Chain A
Amino acid sequence: MLNLKPNIADPDGFYETLINAQRDLTDDAVDRMNAKLILILSNHIGDNDVLAEAITLAAGEARE
């Protein structure tokens, strides 16, 4: 089951880390980084059902 409840202990800190990591990157470099980030996190999650649920959710959100 995909956890959609708040789950990050320090939300502001996480968001800052993410934004800072990409602040000085070109669009192409950001795409490369985001792709790697998704792959690294997906491997950490590991469960295909959870990943499929997340992909479906994100694809729907993107369409709106």
Chain B
Amino acid sequence: MLKTYEFPEFDYICSAEQRDGRVRRHPVVIVGGGPIGLTAALDCARRGIPAVLLDDNNTVSVGSRAVCYAKRPLEIWDRLGCGEKLVAKGVSWQVGKVFFGDDLAYSFNLLPEADHHMPAMINLQQYYLEEELVALCEASDLVDLRWKHKVVGLEQTDDRAVLKVETPDGVFAMEADWVIACDGARSDMRGMVGADFAGKVFEDRFLIADVVMKADFPTERWFWFDPPFHRGQSVLLHKQSDNVWRIDFQLGRDADPEDAKKPENVLPRLKAMLGEDTEFELEWVSVYQFACRRMEKFRHGRVLFAGDAAHQVSPFGARGANTGVQDIDNLTWKLKLVLDGLAPESLIDSYEDERIFAADENLLASARSTDFITPKNRMSRVFRDAVLDLAKTHDFARPLVNSGRLSTPTPYCNSPLNTPDEDDFRGAMVPGTNCADAPVNKDGKDDWFLRALGEGFSIVVFGDVPHGKTIAVGEIEAPVIEVSTDIVDEKGVLTERYDGAKGAVYLIRPDQYVAGRWRTFDPDRIAAALARATGQRH
């Protein structure tokens, strides 16, 4: 039991379909109730898909595990109804310090870019995140959360998956049009489809400890390379909520995990680091090893893999949960269109195109951080130490210091869903990029651009539209949002970020990515882009 947190126990309920022994067909069944599965359930519900979520346990994440949540996932959770609450509960840090050996190498201040609703990142224990997501799932009529439901078998035909599910009342069968497998790095579902998980397993072991500080300690991120209290290794310290601090010790390759976890071995390390006089209590401790790898394909028939089940990265840069949530953001609207018969099934394949591209970028970033933090040979270490030494006195070396790069969204540069630019635009909002937020005024009140976008496709027009207020392709409709009458850009930030001279038009996907943009409102070109973004034309 933690000192600052009591784990909830959710009730197991025997479902009607198990009791009656009548096999039911569900549009979507989600396997795994971690941050990714819970987000998937909420996003399905938000898009109008009834979702059953199966979890083999009956509580939230034990131990705090994921810590840092970046802007894009916060924006997604804001769309799903809990972004502001998470930000209020979480901790934001701006000052980071990098130590090398006995000295402070340098410190930095991540001055956040102004005019975004969500901060660049927050730190928060994973169980608080999950608790919030569970509460929203429980409040939703479309989410059916089932605890102590373990998937033990899978069969597939062309149009469905049949799951064998074990509960305290025995084993029963469920059918699903689509299954989203979010059952983590050790995914059983991955085994059931017979997929392997190729990549690189790193030999270094890390010890993570959560400690409760008794006195004030600065809200800063501290990273030590080769500190006097832990020679030859690295150590990371950062703050979570409730005065709980996460400390991450690199143990090296030969450490015995069981031995390292014992309080008599952990406490001296912590004291050496925090100082003899700093009062703290040990909250939770765990030893981990990590791997950088991904599945070759994220779609296996009717089973779609997301999060750590599909790709696993090192913890440096907070890329695990952050990218998993974006998998879901990418997938759910596509599932909705396919389930409704409005888009061809091939639209689902674009999930794989886009998110494998993102996974590879994350794997690369995470492997680069890992190589810097844990040099693999003598000369890599000499270079690493040279960078850190130079960083003490020379600005130029500081960008080379890599203690983890914060996760940012991957633009889907070459996605088949994009309509490439034909008109001239400046700035970052090229097709395939996630929309930057900006302050706007709506109905006379201060609001945010991302919040003003619709649930489906949106057409944002800077100025007025002479034509109708929607563009439709078949039954898929994209309403027009005028930056003049519907929302007002008083500060000019939106116009600046989107190079939105009068007449500029953006087609924006349901996951808030730019699908196409033009200098004039041409209904034919917009309709063609909408068809393309929904997999109906290439």
Question: A: which residues have CB within 8 A of B?
Answer: 31-32, 35-36, 38-40, 43
Contacts and interface: CB of A to CB of B under 8 A. Distances in A.
Contacts of B385: 32, 35
Nearest to B397: A39
A26 to B, nearest CB: 13
A38 B397 CA distance: 12
Interface residues of B, number: 11
Nearest to B399: A43
A36 B386 contact: yes
A39 B400 contact: yes
Contacts of A36: 386, 389-390
Interface string B379-390: 100110111011
B396 A43 contact: yes
The secondary structure that dominates the B interface is helix
A32 B382 contact: yes
Interface of B: 379, 382-383, 385-387, 389-390, 396-397, 400
A46 to B, nearest CB: 10
A32 B396 contact: no
Contacts of A31: 379, 382
The secondary structure that dominates the A interface is helix
B396 A35 contact: no
Contacts of B382: 31-32, 35
A31 B389 CA distance: 14
B379 A39 contact: no
> Of residues B383, B386, B390, B400, which shows the largest number of chain A Cβ atoms within 10 Å of its Cβ?
B386
Contact of A32 (B386, B397, B400): B386
Contacts of A32: 382, 385-386, 389
B169 to A, nearest CB: 61
21 contacts: A31-B379, A31-B382, A32-B382, A32-B385, A32-B386, A35-B379, A35-B382, A35-B383, A35-B385, A35-B386, A36-B389, A36-B390, A38-B383, A39-B383, A39-B386, A39-B387, A39-B390, A39-B397, A39-B400, A40-B390, A40-B396
Contacts of A38: 383
A36 B390 CA distance: 7
Contacts of A40: 390, 396
A43 B395 CA distance: 11
B232 to A, nearest CB: 15
Nearest to B386: A35
A5 B385 CA distance: 33
A43 B386 CA distance: 13
Nearest to B379: A31
> Of residues B379, B383, B387, B397, which shows the largest number of chain A Cβ atoms within 10 Å of its Cβ?
B383
A48 to B, nearest CB: 13
A57 to B, nearest CB: 18
Nearest to A37: B386
A32 B390 CA distance: 11
Closest 4 CB pairs of A and B: A35-B386, A43-B396, A36-B386, A35-B383
A32 B397 CA distance: 15
Contacts of B387: 39
A26 B224 CA distance: 27
Contacts of B397: 39, 43
Contacts of B386: 32, 35-36, 39
Nearest to B380: A35
B89 to A, nearest CB: 41
A61 to B, nearest CB: 16
Nearest to B385: A32
A42 to B, nearest CB: 9
Nearest to A28: B382
B380 to A, nearest CB: 10
Given A39-B390, A39-B397, 8 more contacts: A32-B382, A35-B379, A35-B382, A35-B385, A36-B390, A38-B383, A40-B396, A43-B397
> Of residues A32, A35, A40, which shows the largest number of chain B Cβ atoms within 10 Å of its Cβ?
A35
A31 B386 CA distance: 10
A36 B391 CA distance: 11
Contacts of B389: 32, 36
A43 B428 CA distance: 26
Contacts of B396: 40, 43
Nearest to B396: A43
Nearest to A43: B396
